[in-house]
Amino acid sequence: MSHDRTKQLLHAYADRQIGAMRRFFLGRHVARCPSCLAELEAIQAMSAALRTNLPAHRASPALAMRIAAALPREAAPSVRRKRFVWPGFAGAAMAGGLAGVALTLVVSGVRPGPDSLVGDVVADHVRSMMAEHLTDVATSDQHTVKPWLSARLPFSPVVKDFAAEGYPLVGGRLDYVDGRPAAALVYRRDRHVINLFVFVSKQGGDSAPGQESRDGFQVVRWRMGGLSYVAVSDVEGSQLMGFVRLVENG
Amino acid sequence: MLALANDTRNRRFELLAMPHLDAAFRLARWLTGNTADAEDVVQDAYLRAFRYLDTFRGDNFRVWLLTIVRHSFLDWLKDNRSGQRIFQPAPVDMEWTDPNPNAEAMLLDRVDSETLGRLVGQLPAEYREVLILREIEDLSYKDIAVVTGIPAGTVMSRLSRARLALRKAWMSNEKRS
């Protein structure tokens, strides 16, 4: 292949966007032509620089929530707003196997009935760990987490660090449970993550903690002072109940 | 019944569209140059994609979605920056000159992330989009042609000019510093 023609096609060659035949003849020329080889290397160096070094922008969870809130109104203005469950903020970050788990959870989470909330929060919990988006505000300082959440929610959640009891606070983030904005407080128990979702209760009255398991996760729900609490984790049931007692007693 | 139909539709959309939220945001972010505008563009694109979901026939939802993101960006441009031409034509001296690559160009892979981001951000949008679609989204020339609406045959020359422009920007940045 001629030098001029090769020069024109070098980008397609570097990008592997030409057929095998042309690729062969082009490669043969490049191997013998220092100028084409240098150009090819420059293209590849830039490509590598962009791929590894360009600032990585990611969609914020707030954007996902914004879209979630806007979509149903687009679809059916007259229909009551539906619960929305997202398969994940960071699709690209989801490895195949994990993605399968999440999608299963999501699908099981959207079936109607009183228990659907449990599926929801379990999916939220899984997603929070997969999407590398555990916290919007990452700090063990309860005096930072609480005002941050209070400024963004229609209520003011109680935020306490239980590090002394073996449940250190990791941070907090905004989430969406049962169609309502929720505070997600993130704790750790050893190497396990506990997500505590707090949102305005639909039903009135307090209720005692009720425990159930779903898809390998423990879920404890209760109502207190007009707020609904749901704790989700893969820690052992008794450990999660221990955490719930701490939260209850403040 | 309507609620049920919408529910199915919503679920289909979630499964198809939400895994590509980062890709949509990245393209919008590089096109608009800032997060707030990028989020507006992406939200608009997602609402459109939802509305026209039934017209999606292809096998690559990401390409379809990115095409819509780009359309939303162009509309956003019309509404917000009337008179300002973001899609500037390339300066004449960037047309197919022989760049004669040298050691400086090779050093590009050592440029720090912030500088690289700034240099890319200062390129004409028509260059930025092909670079992002190729290097970050890893789209084929055929798919880049679909997203940008330029003929498949001109994707390569657009890309080569974009790379040359970035190389020149980098070299003059080096000289300054």
Select the more confidently predicted residue: B167 or A101: B167
pLDDT at B119 (0 to 100) = 93
CA distance A105 to A119: 7
Of A219, A47, A93, A194, the C-alpha closest to B18 is A93
Summary mean pLDDT of chain A: 78
Confidence of residue A106 (pLDDT cuts 50, 70, 90): very low
Chain A residues with CB-CB distance to B22 below 8 A: 57-59, 89-93
pLDDT at B124 (0 to 100) = 92
Chain A residues with CB-CB distance to B108 below 8 A: 42, 45-46, 49
pLDDT at A132 (0 to 100) = 52
Q: What is the pTM of this model?
A: 0.56
Kindly report the CATH class assigned to B2-80: mainly alpha
CATH of B92-176, one of 3.30.1330.10, 3.50.50.60, 2.160.10.10, 1.10.10.10: 1.10.10.10
Give the distance from residue B81's alpha carbon to the nearest chain A alpha carbon, in angstroms.
23
Summary mean pLDDT of chain B: 82
Select the more confidently predicted residue: A228 or B96: A228
Test B21 with A106 for CB contact under 8 angstroms: no
Could you count the other beta carbons within 10 Å of the beta carbon of residue B91? 11
ipTM summary value: 0.84
CA distance A225 to A204: 9
Which among A74-88, A118-132, A208-222 has the top mean pLDDT? Answer: A208-222
Please list the residues that pair with A103 across neighbouring strands.
none
Chain B residues with CB-CB distance to A3 below 8 A: none
Worst-scoring range by mean pLDDT, A4-18, A91-105, B107-121? A91-105
User: Average pLDDT of B154-170?
Assistant: 92
Residues 24-53 of A with CB under 8 A from B: 35, 38-39, 41-43, 45-53
Of B24, B20, B16, B117, the C-alpha closest to B70 is B24
Residue of A nearest to B7 (CA): A82
pLDDT at A102 (0 to 100) = 36
User: Average pLDDT of A84-94?
Assistant: 38
